[in-house]
Structure 1
Amino acid sequence: MGISNSNSEEDTTSQLLFPQDPTSNPTAINAPKKLALLPLVFLIYFEVSGGPYGEESAVGATGPLFAILGFLVFPFIWSIPEALITAELATAFPGNGGFVIWAHHAFGPFWGSLMGAWKFLSGVINLASYPVLCVDYLKLVIPILSSGFPRYVAIFVSTLVLSFLNYTGLSIVGYTAVTLGIVSLLPFLVMTLFAIPMIEPVRWLSLGQKGVKKDWTLFFNTLFWNLNFWDNASTLAGEVDQPQKTYPKALFSAVILSCFGYLIPLMAATGAIPLNQEDWADGYLATVAEMIAGKWLKIWIELGAVLSVVGLYEAQLTSSAYQVLGMAELGFLPRIFGARSQWFNTPWLGILISTVVPLVVSYMDFADIISSANFLYSLGMLLEFASFLWLRRKSPEVKRPFSVPLGFSGLVVMCLIPSVFLVYVMTVATKPVLLISSLLTLVGIGWYFLMNLCRSKMWFQFIKGENQLDKDDHDV
């Protein structure tokens, strides 16, 4: 229960700014409609993929055969288990906190708060990479954006513009994602059709060129970066129409769309042209498209890359902003962090925070950005797997509209395989990444105790007076 004010006028204003129960909130009657299935599918798609942009490094690292096998096999050992876990927990514990709620129910408020810190920081660090990518593509057309002050201004302006779109409403963002997804995938469909007569299947079996050393760290980081974050959309559960039915359908559809979105263009490109492995770096698919069909298709794919980055940014920003909202509703953050816009019903403060932090991070080295995001995300995922297994073992009575169809031993194996990969990603991290991740983890721990102090001293209002689960859900 939140702290109440004696002043009735202040209380009314508080209800308008911080809606909790739609039945008691005057603004809820005119609130935007809940997020439907199709926009949720494309929001999940952009949380994870956004198209084959960025998969080129897998070919450059290990050659066509391992790259194809990676994008074929990795979804089964990583993407599908993560999507299944998200479907079960998001339908059993729906709410804008997502994975924070799951860790909270499983292990208590400290671990819920730490989960929130890890996932939020990994999300906003990852978010910082998208304006950088957007400017990297734009500099091909506008060379002045390559370096110096114009580059910094371009990153700053693009971040603000993209964030404002998110402020205008979840439905707008959702259907924008649908449009961006279709437009950014179309040129690869065209490239595939042009490539079919040129394909020589033997090229798919290549292990790489002689003399080119395999870079397994780059290979696995590329797979991981292109196929993770399936659980991010769980922070929108409170905004989704019939989440118990919608989430499993949306996740299954997004898995299919993402996997084929990677595999089909990759097989078309590697099968249609002779291998020059050193050329296979980010952006090379556009060059391949030019070889296959002409410069017009290269320009189309480069334009699609910019649109894809916009979709990636919007989806990640939405997830991070609603996570902030959900953590305020759970009492991990002060009540003010749950503020919604009176015009669009969006979590404006969550959007603002999720915009400012990436602006600071975006001027870091790009490789350190990605590696730090992966490290923190790995910590959060290990806790998420543990929460899933603990809740399944200790709380079988919880209603699960969707349940992973495996016994407990099968679930342990399902979680163990990707966990081994997570540990591997963490062990190959560089010293700067370890330092950054350790410092941010300490910040997350310190934040939990700071919030407890603020609650005990009543320095801020919190929606829940105590950072605990409801009485009927406390003993899990």
Structure 2
Amino acid sequence: MHVETDALLEDALNTAENGRAASSKTALKPLSLLPLIALIFYDVAGGPFGIEDAVSSGGPLLAVLGFMVLPIVWSVPEALITAEMATTFPENSGYVAWVTAAFGPFWGFQAREGFWSWISGVTDNAVYPVMLLTYLQEGIPVFKDGWPRLVFLVGLNLTLTYLNYRGLHVVGNAAIVMTGLTLAPFVIITLLGLPHLKPANLVKSDWSAVQWFPFFNVMFWNLNYWDSVSTLAGEVRNPGKTFPRALAGAVVLVVASYLLPLIVGLSYSADAADWDLGYFAVVGDRVGGRWLGWAVVGAAMVSQVGQFEAEMSTDSYLLHGMAERGFLPAAFARKSRHGTPTLAIASSALGVLAMARWARLFACVGVFNFLEIVELLNVVYCMAMLLEFAAFIWLRIKYPSLRRPYRVPLPLWGCAAMLLPASALLLILLIGPIIQGKTSVILFTAGACVLGCTLYPLLQTARSRGWMAFRGTSPREFREILYSMYSPVPEAPAATAPPTWLENE
């Protein structure tokens, strides 16, 4: 019979953490508060580009209410959970570590579909250079096709990949500058446009014309992915303090960057038919003249670069963290002299180049429209978030005395109550494609599940037969996770058993 010795566990974890912190003082982590806020901003939003479909599918009133209510229902709970879990497990496998600690390595691999999350992220990243080129080719038609287009896309990918290779401190500082450039035109639009605010336009609604599922999908897509930054937790200075502050600052920044330009834009046109992708350039032109409209176009291009860099960072460090955890071959865990995961970044770059042709088809030719792509990505993400929510609650129940540098300031029942509306939203988005009979979304979801469930045993076979080198003997579970994070030594030998104070005696 085993019972949990909470006091002993807490004391041992605190003692081990002091030793780990002392041993890490010589290695300064690359991410401080402001760079982390900027990277979260680009992981989640990147500016108000993409919210136009919230107006076209829901109307002005629902769009305004959505960006006032959904951050409370969804963004704040997800950010709070990310703050607690990322500081409890400050390593680069992020959400994979949380779910592994709660439910074991199989489910940890499925979290965000592990490797599938990387594939999805690479596909997303292939879209950004193509979208940037779409803006650029309006002024430079030679980039519309042929070898100039190919050379530009390859050159841009290699340049942005090299920036990522040089280190998170470079990417983080660049993200700060790009955030300023992205938001500057919208600050001007807000300052010039608010005196001309038309409150009557903000409350217009046509309930019979509301497309509920597209509306919820667009709103959710614009306000999610707060957990993505957890894959950078091992690169953050003083994560116990930095993570909660960065997430709080990013929530305010993201909501303001959506809501204020939306209110001004609706004051100039409340006609839902006007609100298609790129409409904010029209708003800028009406508010401040042609120069401001072009400034919005420039901001959109900067935003594509920022989102590319943030996505590549989280994708590559996810591979790095999974290799350190023992899910992927050890080669993905090796770092360059800049402290960056070389093979993981190279794999992401090659994936982006391979997907670029398909990304052009998706984004430009219209095999899938914007709303369909959003729905495809949302469904898989919803399944993963339900798993992450369950892991958060289970760890609170099973390990109440686990050292949590930041703890959501609610008791267990309060955390459960906080997650109920968010979980209801996830279920609505999951059943939407079934109700609408969207075969493509259902098949995509089934493929994601099959891929995640198939890859795990294949990689375990590769490990057991010695086809590839892995770290450790098997993916680490709860005790091994704690040992690897809190031991004063950087890496314990694979054969060493976890210390006895991690036992539930």
Could you state the TM-score of these two structures normalised by the residue count of structure 1? 0.88
Residue 383 (structure 1) aligned with residue 387 (structure 2): yes
Superposition RMSD on alpha carbons, in Å?
A: 2.4
- What residue identity is the alignment partner of 2:439? K
Q: Which has the larger displacement, 349-358 or 453-462?
A: 349-358
User: Residue in 2 aligned with 1:142?
Assistant: 140
Distance apart, 1:425 and its partner CA: 2.0
**1:93-138 deviation line (CA, Å, top 9, x unaligned):** 1111110000110000101111123433333333233223222222
Q: Verify the 8 A CA contact 2:202 2:270 in the aligned structure 1.
A: no
Equivalence map 1:348-427=2 (5 Å): 348-362=342-356, 363-364=358-359, 365-366=362-363, 367=369, 368-427=372-431
**Structure-2 separation of matches of 1:317 and 1:54:** 20
Q: Which has the larger displacement, 124-133 or 247-256?
A: 124-133
**Structure-2 separation of matches of 1:474 and 1:107:** 17
**Structure-1 separation of matches of 2:390 and 2:214:** 27
Name which of 301, 316, 319 aligns with 2:314.
319
User: Residue in 1 aligned with 2:6?
Assistant: none
User: Residue in 2 aligned with 1:220?
Assistant: 216
**Structure-2 separation of matches of 1:225 and 1:324:** 23
- What residue identity is the alignment partner of 1:188? F
**Structure-1 separation of matches of 2:50 and 2:422:** 22
Distance 1:126 1:340, change over 3 A: same
Residue 346 (structure 1) aligned with residue 340 (structure 2): yes
**Structure-2 separation of matches of 1:412 and 1:224:** 20
For structure 2, the 5+ residue unaligned runs are 1-19, 364-368, 481-497
Distance apart, 1:354 and its partner CA: 2.0
Name which of 446, 453, 460 aligns with 2:461.
453
Q: Secondary structure at the match of 1:428?
A: helix
Distance apart, 1:32 and its partner CA: 6.5
Distance apart, 1:160 and its partner CA: 2.9
**1:225-278 deviation line (CA, Å, top 9, x unaligned):** 21111011111111110111110011000001111111111111112x133321
User: Residue in 2 aligned with 1:177?
Assistant: 175
Q: Verify the 8 A CA contact 1:321 1:351 in the aligned structure 2.
A: yes
User: Residue in 2 aligned with 1:260?
Assistant: 256
Distance 1:160 1:433, change over 3 A: farther
**Structure-2 separation of matches of 1:457 and 1:475:** 33
Distance apart, 1:201 and its partner CA: 1.3
Q: Which has the larger displacement, 348-357 or 328-337?
A: 348-357
Distance apart, 1:22 and its partner CA: 11
**1:37-74 deviation line (CA, Å, top 9, x unaligned):** 11011111111011111111111112211111111111
User: Residue in 2 aligned with 1:186?
Assistant: 184
User: Residue in 1 aligned with 2:329?
Assistant: 334
**1:121-175 deviation line (CA, Å, top 9, x unaligned):** 3333332332232222223322344467765654444333322211111000001
User: Residue in 1 aligned with 2:131?
Assistant: 133
User: Residue in 1 aligned with 2:243?
Assistant: 247
Equivalence map 1:434-453=2 (5 Å): 434-453=442-461
Distance apart, 1:198 and its partner CA: 1.9
Q: Secondary structure at the match of 1:400?
A: coil
User: Residue in 2 aligned with 1:200?
Assistant: 198
How many residues align structurally? 449
Q: Secondary structure at the match of 2:36?
A: helix
Q: Verify the 8 A CA contact 2:91 2:234 in the aligned structure 1.
A: yes
Q: Verify the 8 A CA contact 1:235 1:319 in the aligned structure 2.
A: yes
User: Residue in 2 aligned with 1:43?
Assistant: 39
Q: Secondary structure at the match of 1:275?
A: coil
Q: Verify the 8 A CA contact 2:157 2:353 in the aligned structure 1.
A: yes
- What residue identity is the alignment partner of 1:166? N
Q: Verify the 8 A CA contact 2:82 2:230 in the aligned structure 1.
A: yes
- What residue identity is the alignment partner of 1:287? V
Percent sequence identity over aligned pairs:
41
Q: Secondary structure at the match of 1:63?
A: helix
Q: Verify the 8 A CA contact 1:129 1:369 in the aligned structure 2.
A: no
